[in-house]
Structure 1
């Protein structure tokens, strides 16, 4: 009952006209960046981080949550009409959605994607509302070795399961751990890996790394692969009120519910987030389809759009459970959102619901309202999003790099930050070019110092006894869970490849 009262207070906060405008701004920008190929929520949040420091924490977090959800919605538009996923989690949507658009049923594909996203997003947010307080209460009882074990789980699973290659994912994680060590050791006061540069004594700002990887590096990578000539966008038939026929509704509602049931639990564990959830949902829909319906898969089956899009948005809510209650990011966007919290001196974790209760429940309430806003933005305004697809790419990515440089300089008004931005951006470009995932790097940089602190405290309590790290039942279970998560993750990856 206390949680229900807190949620009502969150709605009272978000329904204030100022916060409603910020929520609308977030979902609008999120949808726009989701529509544009190559620009995802992680890049947008990283780009806006330096520009939102003037906002109060509640307003900023509502904006970022809106961008997160909006990016998941908007990715379906470019997948269906352009056959170019705006977000990696929208790859599956392109398989069937673009075929539907080419057959003159693009409106039905867009409608089932938007309505399915709303249904699954709302159901997953309800699950988040009830699950987050329970997880937080359990997490308060954990000790130092338990938290260190949780972070090791995050390191291993995120490094091994994000990206197409386990060695490359672990290499990216190792680079992130190294960057997290740069600066002054809090225990001894000695500088580490600063190479005599005074500006590095306080460490490398995570915002500079995030903007460099997700904005500059991504812009360079997409720009290098930009196709020339006019972009061909499949037109959408008018009269959106009649987009979905009775048969389309009948074929879509079960995939919506199944997608929500698959996406939320997959999102809560570090096993690939929405990307894996969408492929798993697609494989399930293809298997459950009747003999006649199964022949439509690969040629424009509406179930192949409805299920994955629902799983996509349900997983987005699932990712917030470990983020808010344990402080563990399991996706690139979640890692950037942790940076957003930390920039305001707020540390996500088990005490977040106690120390920042008003902010957390305002965030959850904004997810409900954001889902409703996104249906309005994605159905009647689809014509506007089609026009957004025609923005010249060279103007777009030049602007991204410019704003990234201005934002990084504004952090400390130091040219060194701009130089670091360029170097990290180039590193991000080559990482994308040669198949190294960037998400483990950011996760390693954020969690690395925290894991080091937990490890040192554990060893100080046990006077150097390493067995103390696995003495508690929870820590031992966590290390055993690494094997299970890796096995499940590898199985899901194989299902993902089989579905593709």
Structure 2
């Protein structure tokens, strides 16, 4: 009953006219961003974070808008998958397998509508799971001491391979770069580290500047390099002819996919890609010869879409309750919370209950907004695919620069952002993932603080780090998280490559 009361209060926050307006704006912008091949939700949220500061939004409003961007980008990723056979982001790869064949058969509108309904169901199921599970996990997290939190942070780094890793060495290198950047500034004993006498570095590196530079500016550089020409030619969208019978036919698939996706999202490091894959694979096994997967089966569109949208909402559970992001996009949202002087974790459910439950309620509302937006307005989103990037780039660049300048009103931050953008471009060229860098930058200070605290309590005895059953359990899971992605990951990618009608990479 207590949870129900908090949720009702959350609806009071989410239904405030200005919050509702920004939720709608975020859902619309997120879908547009998701429709652009290669951008994805992490880049979309990073690009729009400066907008929240430029507009001077309150913390709950900023989180509601950017969470809606996250959800909208997950919806929008399927548009280019179905029409161009190019996934909007990695989780949308499985949608190509049956979505594009449907479009080639003249059923593009049906495929887009089915994907919207399945995305709605998957996200709705996961949001309900978030409401039920998050308070329980937050209460459990209150039993954590500094040693347990340090082990939890190690678990977060160990599971990075599931989020980003194709090469474990490069993933570890990226995390190390992030941890090194996190040491810049004055530590909690008053000692300057790596400031080189630059006054602006005394307070450390601003998360938002690093994120906008690494994600948004580097993406702009890639756009200039790869997509400086015109837009892409897509399959024509026919008039929608979807019946209630067709919708009922995909409901069991959507429910199964939503549940599996939520489970994948809650597990740190699993993410939407795994949710999409296991949902599609399970559906093939459940239906067997009754399906015609790879040839335009509607259930082959519904399963991965329900899975990846379920995972996106599920990834908010560890982020909100433990302060550990479950995906690359939640790492960006975590940075936003920290920059707003809000500490994610169990205490957030009491100290910032209006933000937590406002965001959860906004997710429920946003699901309905996205369903309403994505079916009648799909023609607008489709037309975006034909817009040359030369018209889109100046707008994105302006938002990034104005937003960063509005935070501190100093040109140093603009130069710093550009430097991070160039570094991000080079790192991506070297196939070094960016998410571990951000995670190291975000979790590094808290990780160091908890390590110092634990060792102070134990008079320097390092065995305190694995002195409790809970800490030992976290270390064991960290070990498994470090090993399993490099066993399961290659298998998952091989299955994607050999699947009929496999997606073209972007």
Taking structure 2 as the reference length, the TM-score comes to 0.94
Residue matched to 1:8? 8
Unaligned runs of 5+ in 1: none
Residue matched to 2:106? 104
The question of whether the paired residues in 1 share the 8 Å contact of 2:13 and 2:19 is answered with yes
Q: Is the partner of 1:290 in helix, strand or coil?
A: helix
The question of whether the paired residues in 2 share the 8 Å contact of 1:280 and 1:495 is answered with no
Q: Is the partner of 2:269 in helix, strand or coil?
A: coil
Q: Is the partner of 1:391 in helix, strand or coil?
A: coil
Residue 62 of structure 1 deviates from its aligned partner by 0.9
Give me the whole-angstrom Cα distance separating, in 2, the residues matched to 1:151 and 1:470: 13
Residue matched to 2:267? 269
Residue matched to 2:92? 90
The question of whether the paired residues in 1 share the 8 Å contact of 2:323 and 2:344 is answered with yes
Q: How many residues align?
A: 494
Structure 1, 336-345 or 441-450: larger mean CA deviation: 336-345
Q: 1:311 to 1:495 in 2, by over 3 A?
A: farther
Q: Is the partner of 1:289 in helix, strand or coil?
A: helix
Render the CA deviation track for 1:412-470: whole Å, top value 9, x for unaligned.
Answer: 22222222212211111122222211111101100011100000000000010000110
Give me the whole-angstrom Cα distance separating, in 1, the residues matched to 2:83 and 2:115: 12
Paired residues for 1:326-337 under 5 Å: 326-337=322-333
Structure 1, 160-169 or 100-109: larger mean CA deviation: 160-169
RMSD: 1.7
Give me the whole-angstrom Cα distance separating, in 2, the residues matched to 1:159 and 1:488: 9
The question of whether the paired residues in 2 share the 8 Å contact of 1:257 and 1:310 is answered with yes
Give me the whole-angstrom Cα distance separating, in 2, the residues matched to 1:352 and 1:265: 23
The question of whether the paired residues in 2 share the 8 Å contact of 1:183 and 1:194 is answered with yes
Q: Is the partner of 2:159 in helix, strand or coil?
A: helix
Give me the whole-angstrom Cα distance separating, in 2, the residues matched to 1:392 and 1:58: 35
Residue matched to 1:476? 472
The question of whether the paired residues in 2 share the 8 Å contact of 1:13 and 1:362 is answered with yes
Residue 71 of structure 1 deviates from its aligned partner by 0.7
Give me the whole-angstrom Cα distance separating, in 2, the residues matched to 1:429 and 1:222: 11
Q: Is residue 242 of structure 2 the alignment partner of residue 243 of structure 1?
A: yes
The question of whether the paired residues in 2 share the 8 Å contact of 1:158 and 1:330 is answered with no
Q: 1:161 to 1:343 in 2, by over 3 A?
A: closer
Residue matched to 2:218? 217
Give me the whole-angstrom Cα distance separating, in 2, the residues matched to 1:43 and 1:397: 14
Residue 87 of structure 1 deviates from its aligned partner by 2.2
Residue 161 of structure 1 deviates from its aligned partner by 4.9
Render the CA deviation track for 1:155-187: whole Å, top value 9, x for unaligned.
Answer: 121156523111111111111111111111121
Give me the whole-angstrom Cα distance separating, in 2, the residues matched to 1:371 and 1:430: 37
Q: Is the partner of 1:380 in helix, strand or coil?
A: coil
Paired residues for 1:168-317 under 5 Å: 168-187=170-189, 189-226=190-227, 228-229=229-230, 231-238=232-239, 240=240, 242-244=241-243, 246=245, 248-249=246-247, 251-291=249-289, 293=291, 296-317=292-313
Residue matched to 1:30? 30
Q: Is the partner of 2:30 in helix, strand or coil?
A: helix
The question of whether the paired residues in 2 share the 8 Å contact of 1:282 and 1:499 is answered with no
The question of whether the paired residues in 2 share the 8 Å contact of 1:221 and 1:432 is answered with no
Render the CA deviation track for 1:186-220: whole Å, top value 9, x for unaligned.
Answer: 21x12111223222111111111100111001121
Q: 1:149 to 1:27 in 2, by over 3 A?
A: same
Residue 227 of structure 1 deviates from its aligned partner by 7.1
Paired residues for 1:318-357 under 5 Å: 318-357=314-353
Q: Is the partner of 1:194 in helix, strand or coil?
A: coil
Residue 104 of structure 1 deviates from its aligned partner by 0.9
Residue matched to 1:51? 51
Structure 1, 476-485 or 193-202: larger mean CA deviation: 193-202
Structure 1, 224-233 or 464-473: larger mean CA deviation: 224-233
Residue 132 of structure 1 deviates from its aligned partner by 0.4
Q: Is residue 116 of structure 2 the alignment partner of residue 114 of structure 1?
A: yes
Taking structure 1 as the reference length, the TM-score comes to 0.95
Give me the whole-angstrom Cα distance separating, in 1, the residues matched to 2:422 and 2:96: 30
Paired residues for 1:416-455 under 5 Å: 416-455=412-451
Structure 1, 44-53 or 173-182: larger mean CA deviation: 44-53
The question of whether the paired residues in 1 share the 8 Å contact of 2:230 and 2:386 is answered with no
Residue matched to 2:19? 19
The question of whether the paired residues in 2 share the 8 Å contact of 1:26 and 1:67 is answered with yes
